[in-house]
Amino acid sequence: MATVAAEVPPAALEAGHGIQGSHDHHATNTGLSHAKLGIWVFLSSEALFFGSFISTYLIFRGRDVAVAQATHQVIPHPKDLFDIPFTSCTSFILLMSSLTMVLALAAIQRGDMRRLRIWLAATAAFGLTFISGQVYEFTNFYREGLHLSTGTFGGTFYVMTGLHGAHVTVGIFWLLALLQRSMQGKLGPEKAEAVEIAGLYWHFVDIVWIVIFTVVYLVPYK
Amino acid sequence: MTTGTTGELLSGSGGEIIAVERGQVVVHEHLHPQPRQYVMIAVVLVVITGIEVAVSYATGLNTNVMIVVLLALALTKFSLVVAWYMHLKTDARILRRFFIMGIVLALFVFMIVTLMLHGLMNSSNVYRG
């Protein structure tokens, strides 16, 4: 860990611009910016939010099939519904969007605004592709007979993955807003934290999908 | 807001720790990873995803073993994204604690809901498979 020291006039410190550089600094009690601390508290609550939906899905997982077999009902089996190669591709796209997001952050931190715009646009485009894939998947499932009211599987599956999709959509709007601000010249290297916070939200959405992809699609159904 | 007293901490967005010591702002460089490292992590994530999909198609594998392997791979991917892309590896410890608290509470909710529904289902015929 290297250490750099700089003389700073009290007035500059007062204004929160302690040192010259590519980052904006805020004086806080914790030594962390309020925005960064705030997004982590928010993400912590989001972990609880998605944790509840994933828990509910896991608890009811496979029970519909057992009930349908006992009562001679016909409901679509997850094994027949899921198109693993297709969902693997959309998962790959979401993973790649996390890469482009950190590359956008690295670009703004070194003041490369052209690359920032490229990587932000790429991240939004990957997110949009993921959402398009989800819409296509939902449409197919609906045609196959899996509705929101098709037992506990339909309800828990659509609510959980739909809420995740809603989060991705919010993230896309956030990225597009940053892109617009950057094009208007309102997002310079001193605002790198704004990109970092959007990135934290985006990566969180990605890690939620990592869990959903495994427990919903890959773990085998009996 | 008064700033600039010795021992005070300021924050930056590059993963650095900034403190005021004897009237000087001292930047302890603790920078985020470089683009090359980000790309390397992405390659590892893609490889793990490929292994996950391959494991899910493995017919000769015991189901319980498959579940354990898939969950371990997902946990690895989760940890890599959180540590490297979300910078919890290099950022302040308090942020790590906040996030871990959320995850632990989520697991706690899972346990409570499981136990509650297990009790409800045992007292009802609806979900007896």
- Among A8, A70, A211, beta carbon nearest to B24: A8
> Does B93 contact A at CB distance below 8 Å?
no
- Among A13, A19, A106, beta carbon nearest to B27: A19
> Does B125 contact A at CB distance below 8 Å?
no
- B83 pLDDT more than 50: yes
Average pLDDT over residues B84-104: 90
pLDDT in tens, A89-116: 999 999 999 999 999 999 999 999 999 9
Q: B110 to chain A nearest CA, in Å?
A: 5
- B88 pLDDT more than 80: yes
pLDDT value, residue A114:
97
Would the CB atoms of A211 and B74 count as touching at under 8 Å?
yes
Q: How far apart are CA A179 and CA A176, in angstroms?
A: 5
> Does B40 contact A at CB distance below 8 Å?
no
Please name the helix (run of DSSP H) or strand (run of DSSP E) that holds residue A7, with its range, or none.
strand A3-7
Q: How far apart are CA A104 and CA A85, in angstroms?
A: 29
Which of B88, B117, B28 lies closest to A19 in space, CA to CA?
B28
Average pLDDT over residues A182-203: 95
Contacts A44 to B, Cβ<8 Å: 98-99, 101-102, 105
Cα-Cα-Cα-Cα torsion A56, A211, A35, B11, nearest 10 degrees, comes to 140
Residue of B nearest to A210 (CA): B74
> Does B27 contact A at CB distance below 8 Å?
yes
Q: What is the ipTM of this complex?
A: 0.84
Contacts A190 to B, Cβ<8 Å: none
- Among B4, B13, B42, beta carbon nearest to A99: B42
Tokens matching residue A134 = 């989800």
- B44 pLDDT more than 90: yes
Contacts A204 to B, Cβ<8 Å: 86
Contacts B22 to A, Cβ<8 Å: none
Q: How far apart are CA A98 and CA A166, in angstroms?
A: 17
pLDDT value, residue A75:
77
Which of A92, A158, A196 lies closest to B90 in space, CA to CA?
A196
Q: How far apart are CA B80 and CA A28, in angstroms?
A: 29
Would the CB atoms of A47 and B105 count as touching at under 8 Å?
yes
DSSP conformation letters of A162-220? HHHHHHHHHHHHHHHHHHHHHHTT---GGGHHHHHHHHHHHHHHHHHHHHHIIIIIISP
State the burial class of residue A142 (Cβ atoms within 10 Å of its Cβ: 0-12, 13-18, 19+).
middle
- B2 pLDDT more than 50: no
Q: B44 to chain A nearest CA, in Å?
A: 11
Half-sphere exposure of A188 (CA within 13 A, CB side): 7
- Residue B92's pLDDT band, with cuts at 50, 70 and 90, is confident
Would the CB atoms of A32 and B94 count as touching at under 8 Å?
yes
State the burial class of residue A160 (Cβ atoms within 10 Å of its Cβ: 0-12, 13-18, 19+).
buried
Average pLDDT over residues A203-218: 96
pLDDT value, residue A137:
96
Q: Which residue has the higher pLDDT, A169 or A9?
A: A169
- Residue A213's pLDDT band, with cuts at 50, 70 and 90, is very high
> Does B20 contact A at CB distance below 8 Å?
yes
pLDDT in tens, A17-48: 333 334 445 567 777 889 999 999 999 999 98
Q: A4 to chain B nearest CA, in Å?
A: 5
